[in-house]
């Protein structure tokens, strides 16, 4: 089932305004529970986590910046 363009835009907004801050809080909390790793390891973990959150939502964000399709105007 494909989501309509308008639905994907709204879902992307919810993900960015609610989901991403929650994910950041969880990631930082988990990193504080760990013993302080070296700066390089910590940077690598944050880089991986920074990319990892978007993988499940790529179908939502694909094409959001483009003008709406002709059939949905």
Domain boundaries defined on the chain: 5-62
Tell me the three state secondary structure of residue 18. Answer: helix
Write down the mean pLDDT value for the chain. 84
For residue 10, what are its two tokens? 């709204």
Predicted TM-score (pTM) above 0.95: no
d(CA 48, CA 33): 18
Burial class (CB in 10 A: 0-12, 13-18, 19+), 60: buried
pLDDT, tens digit (0-9, with 9 covering 90-100), for 10-31: 999 999 999 889 988 988 888 8
pLDDT at 14: 92
Query: Residue 58 pLDDT more than 60?
Result: yes
DSSP 19: I
């Amino acid at each position: 089932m494909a989501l309509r363009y308008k639905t994907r835009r709204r879902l992307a907004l919810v993900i960015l305004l609610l989901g991403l801050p929650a994910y950041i809080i969880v990631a930082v909390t988990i990193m504080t529970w760990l013993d302080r790793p070296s700066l390089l390891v910590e940077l690598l973990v944050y880089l991986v986590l920074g990319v990892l959150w978007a993988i499940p939502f790529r179908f939502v964000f694909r094409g959001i910046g483009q003008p709406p399709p002709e059939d949905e105007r």
